[in-house]
Structures are given as structure tokens and as C-alpha cells.
Structure 1
Amino acid sequence: MHILVTGGAGFIGGHLAESFVEAAHDVTTVDILEPFYDLGLKEHNIDVARQRATETDGSYEFIEGSTTNKELVDEIVEDIDIIYHQAAQAGVRASVENPTKVTEYNVNGSQTILEAARKHDVTRVVNASSSSVYGKPEYLPYDESHPNEPVSPYGASKLAVEHYMRVYNEVYGLPTVSLRYFTVYGPRMRPNMAISNFVSRCMRGKSPEVYGDGTQTRDFTYIADIVDANHSLLTDDSADGETMNIGSSDNIDITTLAEVVRDEIDPTLNIEYTEARDGDAEHTHADISKATELIGYEPSREIREGVGEFIEWYEDNREWYEPLVVSS
């Protein structure tokens, strides 16, 4: 099977591309290499997937370019069987500062992908959405029927893309699925996320720094679970036209998360607090029953176990990973 992963040099896209190559698929990735964080991390993701291609029967090709480039996208998609659309301008806080850029990349780029997929009869488009579409909770955990009132341009853009996916399925018959990711973490995660930030600071003898008062809660999802959910959609059409939560079904407040990391690395450190950031949701918590029913999704790790694994990975890869995280 020939798979396109957009945003394939990013954290999630990189893991997906690597895993599809390992499963002996032919993988093409496209990524604009936006320097939202140190490009060394994206270059490492590309190198890992290329190396996997030398060890398996799969193949890997990286193309530098934007999903907003209609001619490029049309040329790439012509020979593609299934698209995993991960490309987006990430960052809730960055979207508050530059909403126009988020609209251009996330909304316009996604519509370009959908048009090419429709034209070339792609088997399925799997869209990476976000828990940011929910906004302020009326109840928790969020199920897919919860009202969508995003509190950031990033969340608004992700919700708009979900609607485009639904419309292309209903109007044009293009099989589409949107997966609402809940805060993904794990090896090679991008910097300035809470877990990578806490671990990096503690490893260097600095107190973990919490934005706001630390009472915010998050549902953190381990990267391997995201990969498994996406793999299930390679051949399973039971979720076509649907939107599903992909989370851990558990959540934790940020102060407790900082304490878990701190206690694993250096219990003598204090927790420090700084100003809250605009656009951040107060709470996230996923009801995953729909994904469990439709694609058999079950999370494999609760947060403490996953954090412990990430810390071990960090220690083993500190030589190359830490400089890129700290410099970003």
C-alpha cells in the first residue's frame, strides 16, 4: 500500500511514517519544515524513517513542501492509496499570536488535500484533529456529542477541518475519518510541551515550571496508542465519515504531573509557577467509547507508566535530544 503522511517530519507524523515503513508499506511524506521548534528534531524523524526503510521491505520518500501548494499536492496524491493528514500549524499559544497563519496552513491546506484525494479516488483520508475543538467543558469526560466551542484559533481551525472532512464524505463520497487527539506525548515529542519541559528542566537540576496555578487537568495519550489507532484505519472502513476521540480515558492535574516527573528524577526540586497562557483549555478528558466500539481502540498506558517510559527514553537519547529541546 502506498501511504502519504502529511506533516511527516513532525512528532506524530514521524512516528506514523516510521511505523508504516516497518509494516512494509511504501511511504511518502511531505512537510514544509516550519521552524516552529528546532528543525533538528524533524530532521531526526526523517532520518529514522529512512533508516527503517533500509531494514524492511517498505520504502520511504521525503518531499519538502506545503500542503497549500495545489500543484505539488496533486502530483504527490496521484499515486497514493491512503492519506494520513497530520500537517498543521501546531500550538495553541502560537495561534493566538498569528491566527492568519493557522487558517492558511490548517484550513486551506486541508481543503487542498481533500480536493486532490477526491480527484484521484484515494481510499481514505485520516485527519488528525484535536481535543482543542471542545473548548470549555459543559461536562467531563468529553464525548463526541459535547458542544464544540474552541477557545483558540488553533481549536477553531481544527473544528473547521473536521467539518470539511465530513462534507467531503457526505457530498462527494470520499471516505474520511477525523481522530481527536488528546495531548500526545512520548519519544521524540516536540519541546515546550508540559512533559518534555518538565523532564528537561529536572534533568538539568532546574525546578519544573507550571503555567498558571497547576489545577488544569489534561488527558495525556502515549504516542504508541496514537499509532495503533491510525493503523487500524488502514483497511477498516467501519469509521468512515466519523469523528472519534483518541485519548487515554484518564486525566491528571498539571501540578501532580510535575510532581510525578520531579519525583522520578530529583525529589529535592521545588515546583515553580508562572503566568498562565492565553488560549489554553482548563480541562480535557476523553470518553473513548466510540473509538473502542468502532475500531477496537484501547489505550495501553496510564500517565505514570508512560511518563516513566519517556524519562527512560530521554536518558538513553539525551546526547542528541536534549540540546534540541533546550535550544527551542
Structure 2
Amino acid sequence: MRILVTGGAGFIGGHLAERFVTDGHDVVVLDNFDPFYDTRIKNHTVEVCRERADEGDGTYRLVEGDVRDADLVTELVEEADYVYHQAAQAGVRPSVQNPRKYDDVNVDGTLNVLDAARGTGIERVVLASSSSVYGKPEYLPYDESHPTTPVSPYGASKLAAERYACAYSEVYDLPAVALRYFTVYGPRMRPNMAISNFVSRCLNGEPPVVYGDGTQTRDFTFIEDIVEANVTLLSEDAADGEALNIGSTDNIEILTLAEEIRDQLAPDLEIEFAERHDADAEHTHADSSKASELLGYEPSRTIREGVAEFVEWYRANREWYEPLVLES
């Protein structure tokens, strides 16, 4: 298969590209290396993917460019059988300061991909959406019928992007699926995320910092579960035109998470607290039964199991990864 992964040097896109190359596919990655977080992590991801290509039957090509470049996007999409559209301007909090950029990248960039794909006979476009589309919960866990009332420009931009994908599927007969990810974590994760910060601070004798009182809850989803859901869409068409939750079906209070990481790594430290950001969601919790029904999706790790695995990876990769966390 010829697979285009936009944002393919990033956290999720990089893991997808690595898996596709390892499985013997021909992969093209489009990424603009936006310095939202330290690009050395992206460079490491590219090196890993190239190594996987050298070891097996897959091929890997990196194109440095932007999804806002419609001509470039069209050129790359026309060469692909599948498009995994992971490129986005990330970050809930920064979106409050610069909402226009989130519209430019997440909405207009997505329209470039969809416009390039309709009429090409492409097998499928898979779009990365987010639990941020739900906003304040009317009930938990969120199912796909829950109202979508995002409370941040980031969430609004992701909702607009997925609605366009589903609309194009309906009116242009373009096979497209939107996957609503719930707080993804794991190896090579963004260094400014709660789990990576808790682990880094504890390993360096610094107290973990919790924003707010810590009663906020999150449904953390391990990266390998995200990858498996995406891989299934290479052969499964039951979800075309749909938006699906992809979560762990488990959740945990942020304070409890910080305490458990602290107790495992540095039990003498005291938790510190800082002001909570208004744009942060109060709670996330996924009902992934629709993905289970349509894709056979089942999360493989509980939050505690996944965090333990991330800590093990962190220790093994501490020499190169930890400086990036500390600098961010």
C-alpha cells in the first residue's frame, strides 16, 4: 500500500509511519517541523522510521512541507492509496492566544486534504480528531451522541475538521473516518504533557506540579492502542462516514496519577499545585463501544499499566529524551 501520513514526524503520526513501514508499506510523510515542541523528538522519529525501512520491505520518504500548501498536498494525495491526516496545530491552551492559526492549519489544512482526495478514487482518509470536541460533559462517559460544545479554539477547529470529513464522505462518496483520540501518551510523547512532566520531575527530585486541585479526570490512551485502531482502517470500511471515540475506557484523577508516579519514583516528594487553565477540560472519559462494534477495537492497557510501560521506556531513553522535557 502507498500511505501518506500528514504530520508523520509527530507523536501519533510518527508511530503510525513506523508501524506502516515495519509492515512493508510504502510511506510518505509530510511534516512542517513546527517548533511547538522540541523538533529533536521529530528528528529522532524520522531516524527510527528510516531504520525500519532499511530493515524490511517498506519504503519511507520524508517531505518537509505544510498542509496549508494546497498544491503540495494535492501532489502527495494523488500518489497515495490511503491518507492518514494527523497534521494539526496542537495545544488547547495556546489556541486561546492564537485561534486564527488553529483555523488555518486544522480546518483549512484539512480541507486541502479532503479536496485533494475527492475524485481520486482513494481508498480512505483517516482523520485525527480529539476528545476536545465534546467540551463540558453533560454525562460521562462520552459517547458519540453526546453534544459537541468545545470550550477552546483548538476543540472547535478539530470539530470543524471532522465534520468536513464526514460531510465529504456523504456528499462526495469519499471514504473518510474521524477518530476522536482521548489524551494519547507513550514513548516519544510530547514533552509538555502531564505524564512526561510528572515522570521527569520525580526522576530529578523535583515535586510534580498539578494544575488546579487535581480532581480533574482524564481518559489516557496508550499510543499502541491508537495505532491498532488506525491500522484496522486499512482493511475495514464499516466506519466510513463516522466519528469514533478511541479511548482507554478507563479514567483517573490527575492528582491520583501524580501521586502514583511520585510514590513509584520519589515517594518523599510533596505534590505542588498551580493555577488551572480555563480552557482545560474538567473531565474526559470515553465510551468506545462504537469503535468496538465497528472496528473490533479493544484497549490493551489500563492507565496504570501504560504509565508503568512509559516509565520503563523513559528510563531506557533518558539520555536523549529527558533534556527535551526539562527544556520545554
Query: Residues of 2 paired with 1:109 and 1:304: CA distance?
Result: 36
2:3 is aligned with 1:9: no
Is the contact made by 1:96 and 1:278 (CA closer than 8 Å) also made in structure 2?
no
C-alpha deviations, 1:116-159, integer Å up to 9, x for none? 11142211000000000000000000000000000000000000
Report what 1:230 is aligned to.
230
Distance in 2 (alpha carbons) for counterparts of 1:94 and 1:43: 23
Match of 1:191 in 2: 191
Opposite residue 218 of structure 2, the aligned amino acid is R
Please give the alpha-carbon distance, in whole angstroms, between the structure 1 residues aligned to 2:262 and 2:122.
47
Matched, 1:268 2:259: no
Q: CA RMSD in A?
A: 0.6
Match of 1:113 in 2: 113
For structure 1, the 5+ residue unaligned runs are none
The 1-side partners of 2:69 and 2:121 are apart by 19
Matched-pair contact (CA < 8 Å) for 1:247–1:288: yes
For residues 213 and 81 of structure 1, the distance between their equivalents in structure 2, rounded to whole angstroms, comes to 47
Find the aligned partners of 2:145 and 2:298 in 1 and give their Cα distance: 20
The 5-angstrom pairing of residues 196-235 of structure 1 reads 196-235=196-235
TM value normalised by structure 1: 0.99
Residue pairs, 1:156-171, within 5 angstroms: 156-171=156-171
Q: 3-state DSSP class of the match of 1:88?
A: coil
Partner of 1:179: 179
Aligned equivalents of 1:229 and 1:83: distance in 2? 15
- Secondary structure of the residue aligned to 1:290 is helix
Specify the SS of the correspondent of 2:30: strand
C-alpha distance in 1 between matches for 2:91 and 2:250: 22
Q: Percent identity, aligned pairs only?
A: 67
**In 2, are the aligned partners of 1:29 and 1:61 still within 8 Å (CA)?**
yes
Paired with 2:238 and 2:38, the residues of 1 have a C-alpha distance of 38
Length, aligned pairs only: 328
Residue 237 of structure 1 deviates from its aligned partner by 0.6
Equivalent position of 1:81 in the other structure:
81
Contact 1:2–1:80 under 8 Å retained in 2: yes
Give the secondary-structure state (helix, strand or coil) at the position aligned to 2:118: helix
Say if 2:295 is the partner of 1:295.
Answer: yes
Equivalent AA in structure 2 for residue 32 of structure 1: N
Instruction: Please list every run of at least 4 consecutive aligned residues from structure 1 whose deviation after the TM superposition is greater than 3 angstroms.
Output: none
Distance 1:87 1:119 in 2: 22
Tell me how far apart the structure 1 counterparts of residues 312 and 262 of structure 2 sit (CA, whole Å).
14
Q: Are residue 241 (structure 1) and residue 241 (structure 2) matched?
A: yes
Question: By how many angstroms is 1:39 displaced?
Answer: 0.6
| Deviation of 1:78 (Å) | 1.4
1:54, distance to aligned residue in structure 2 (A)? 0.3
**Residues in 2 aligned to 1:306 and 1:78: alpha-carbon distance in whole angstroms:** 38
Q: Secondary structure at the match of 2:286?
A: coil
Q: CA deviation at 1:325?
A: 1.4
- What residue number does 1:278 align with? 278
2:298 alignment partner, SS class: coil
Partner residue in 2 for 1:322 = 322
**SS at the partner of 1:188?**
coil
AA aligned opposite 2:230 = N
Q: Distance in 1 between matches of 2:75 and 2:123?
A: 17
Distance in 1 between the 2:326 and 2:63 partners? 27
- In the alignment, residue 297 of structure 1 is paired with which amino acid? Y
Counterpart Cα distance in 2 of 1:97 and 1:326 = 24
Indicate the SS of the match to 1:224: helix
Question: Could you tell me which amino acid in structure 2 is paired with residue 136 of structure 1?
Answer: K
2:141, 2:178 → 1: CA distance?
Answer: 19
Following TM superposition, by how much is the alpha carbon of 1:74 offset from its aligned partner in structure 2, in angstroms? 1.1
CA distance in 2 between counterparts of 1:142 and 1:116 reads 32
Distance 2:119 2:211 in 1: 45
- Could you say which residue in structure 2 is the equivalent of 1:39? 39
Counterparts of 1:252 and 1:64 in 2: how far apart (Å)? 38
Secondary structure class of the residue paired with 2:281: coil
Counterpart CA distance in 2 for 1:120 and 1:69 is 18
1:261 CA displacement: 0.8
Per-residue deviation, 1:260: 1.2
